Structure 1
Amino acid sequence: MIVDTEIKAAQPPADKIVELGKFRPNHSLSPLRQAEAYWTALRNGGGIPYRTQIDPRGLENLLEYAFILERIAPEIARFRLAGQHLIQLAGMEVRGMPASALFTPAARNSLGEVMRRTFDGPSVTELSLCSEARRGRSQFDANVILLPLKSDLGDISRCLGVLVSNAPAPTVPCRFDITHAAHREISGLRYDTPEAPKTTSKAPGFADPQRPLVRPERKRPYLWLVKS
């Protein structure tokens, strides 16, 4: 079930920069909160960060949990990059795979709605997941945050994600059901509108004089007499 909440995104103070390199694994901030703090610091006064602004050094303590998604259809996204934690859960390299591959068939409709709202909102999305119930496997929980990003073209078609599970040593591959979803719509967005092209008047002497359009006179067809 999709649960909607609208919370104004916190704006980072102009004189403070979040340096995640100072965080340690035993820090009170969870990987999800660290990722959101890093993303918020990149917003540059209210905009959506670009994918190219994501520096692995800034996510040093989160790399094993982090991933990048690329939107390829209104409700479909695929993995561009993924950390070791997610690869272990999937039991394989997930780069190039659709995000839906990690979810049960019953959860994929909800996942499509999650993707649509994350990119189109745009929204910061948090998910609570539960692993698929299978015989001989103990279930475990996981949490995800999705933070929208712009591509090089300026469209919001990428997102930074973090997935953290409490699985001690899961039997792979794992698939998840969505037990809760929360969307925090991003308010106060600053859109960079392209500058209108400037029109310049032609200098006197360089412009050709305008001539009235005259329909050419239609000539009568001629007949030729050919002697044999």
Structure 2
Amino acid sequence: MMDNSGPLGDPPDPSGDSAAIRHLLDELERYWQQIRRSGRLPARTDVDPAQIDACLPHSFIVERVAPGVLRLRVAGARLSDALGMEVRGMPLSALFLPEGRDVLAARIDEVFDGPRIMEFPIHSPRGIGRPLMAGRLLVLPLLDREGRVTRAMGAMITEGGIGRGGRRFTIPAGAEIRSDAVDGPLRPIAPAPVFEAAEEPAPFEMPRVRRVADRPGRGHLRLVVDNG
């Protein structure tokens, strides 16, 4: 059975910029900044999923295969759940409605050519059996093995139930799109809150790969990995 509850347990904020979404995006961007070396961009091989486990269901790694075209190499379970099928190997644009694809294609190359950090507000409109979904898409540049900016990590985090059938998203007309030059001043991010542990934390285990057809009932997450 498809889990139709919101991923963060809250009704969606129509702006897509709720405190819960912002917390996860900041956590991912903070990690990206931490793995930069002497101002150099992080490499794909620097990314350790154990350090971003809270973001894993919403996260992805893409490869630019042509101008404006990104192929999903790694995809969290929430992306596949939203589309209603496995998304690994598909273009990132497959998650968008035609008007959203046009905006994405027009701006996404800035991530690689700048390089720049890009953030887009996204939503999937209401329909019969389909509640409003709203959230944000964050894309952070990465180097490949040859030192070229052909990879990116990011997250697509939404609130709201998936409802009936696969969902696709759009970027609202006139929406403010964040585009920060990596060599320029980056948006300051508040330090992560520190909590005193009541007991020894359990060791992290990577979620094992599951096929969509094998997915059990509510509450299970998976991460599909392509190490290319």
Question: TM-score, normalised to structure 1's length?
Answer: 0.67
Report which stretch shifted further, 28-37 or 121-130. Answer: 28-37
- Higher RCO, 1 or 2 (CA under 8 Å, sep at least 6)? 2
For the structure 1 residues 132 and 150, does the alpha-carbon distance in structure 2 shift closer, same or farther, using more than 3 Å as the test?
same
Q: Secondary structure at the match of 1:125?
A: strand
CA distance in 2 between partners of 1:37 and 1:88 (Å): 26
Show the 5 A alignment for 1:177-188. Answer: 177-179=170-172, 180=175, 181-187=177-183
- Match among 145, 148, 166 for residue 152 of structure 1: 145
> Any unmatched runs of 5+ in structure 2?
1-18, 186-228
The aligned residue for residue 109 of structure 2 is: 116
Show the 5 A alignment for 1:36-185. Answer: 36-179=29-172, 180=175, 181-185=177-181
> Any unmatched runs of 5+ in structure 1?
1-25, 190-228
Aligned-residue offset at 1:139: 2.0
Question: TM-score, normalised to structure 2's length?
Answer: 0.67
CA distance in 1 between partners of 2:162 and 2:98 (Å): 24
Structure 1 contact 143–163 (Cα < 8 Å) conserved: yes
Q: Secondary structure at the match of 1:138?
A: coil
RMSD (Å) for aligned C-alpha atoms: 2.1
Aligned-residue offset at 1:160: 0.5
For residues 197-223 of structure 1, the C-alpha deviation after alignment (integer angstroms, 9 at most, x for no partner) is xxxxxxxxxxxxxxxxxxxxxxxxxxx
Structure 1 contact 89–170 (Cα < 8 Å) conserved: no
CA distance in 2 between partners of 1:168 and 1:108 (Å): 22
Report which stretch shifted further, 175-184 or 27-36. Answer: 27-36
CA distance in 1 between partners of 2:128 and 2:67 (Å): 35
For the structure 1 residues 79 and 102, does the alpha-carbon distance in structure 2 shift closer, same or farther, using more than 3 Å as the test?
same
Aligned-residue offset at 1:38: 0.3
Structure 1 or 2, whichever has the larger Rg, is: 1
- After TM superposition, what 4+ stretches of structure 1 lie above 3 angstroms from structure 2? 26-29, 132-136
CA distance in 1 between partners of 2:79 and 2:47 (Å): 19
Identity, % of aligned positions: 34
CA distance in 2 between partners of 1:156 and 1:58 (Å): 22
Aligned-residue offset at 1:133: 4.7
Structure 1 contact 77–99 (Cα < 8 Å) conserved: yes
For residues 103-160 of structure 1, the C-alpha deviation after alignment (integer angstroms, 9 at most, x for no partner) is 1111212111222111111111111001045444222202111000001111101101
CA distance in 2 between partners of 1:144 and 1:27 (Å): 14
Structure 1 contact 144–163 (Cα < 8 Å) conserved: yes
Tell me the matched-pair count.
Answer: 164
CA distance in 2 between partners of 1:172 and 1:136 (Å): 9
**One-letter amino acid of the counterpart of residue 179, structure 2:** H
Q: Secondary structure at the match of 2:108?
A: helix
